[in-house]
Amino acid sequence: MTDSTFTEDDTRWMRQALELARHSVSLNEVPVGAVIVRDQQLLGQGWNAPISACDATHHAEIAAIRAAGESAQNYRLPGSTLYVTLEPCTMCFGAMIHARIGRVVYGTREPRAGVLVSQLKLPDATFYNHQITVEGGLLADQSAQLLTHFFQARRSTNPAGSA
């Protein structure tokens, strides 16, 4: 499910995720930010930092899930919503399933590796023991623009493409 009608609270939380994505840029990381909210309370937040953290799993969603689990003192986060600026990958979707995230709201699609709607459409799979509600397109233009500017700047400083 995509292109839903979003609430003011949804927009507020996605704006916070966008601020975290901008923080990723300051680390020279791909700009993706995520926040996890339950009952209008921030449980956790994160930004992409696999390069600076020397950790391939340090995606924004994973960092937010880890922080939320610590905050909630539980690895399961039922009833929570994860707001993320970019459609999640396979790894992040798996973590959301295990954390029992109730809803994910993403900004822009990731046509190559996004698994919610762009590629594998994993939320539609019937073999999972947990289902996640998916809504997309919230502040999509801002999320996409941040990514576009990041990669344009990267190409202009590294024209050979060896990032």
The residue from 29, 61, 110, 135 that is catalytic is 61
Residue position matching structure tokens 């999640």? 88
Measure the N-to-C terminal CA separation of the chain; round to a whole number of Å.
34
CB 48 within 8 A of CB 58: yes
Q: How far is CA 41 from the centre of its chain?
A: 18
Label residue 71 exposed, middle or buried (CB < 10 Å: 0-12, 13-18, 19+): middle
User: Residue 133 and residue 105: Cα distance in Å, rounded?
Assistant: 8
Q: How far apart are CA 58 and CA 81, in angstroms?
A: 19
Number of Cβ atoms within 10 Å of the Cβ of 38: 18
- Residue 87 is among the residues annotated as catalytic for this protein: no
Which residues are known to be catalytic?
A: 61
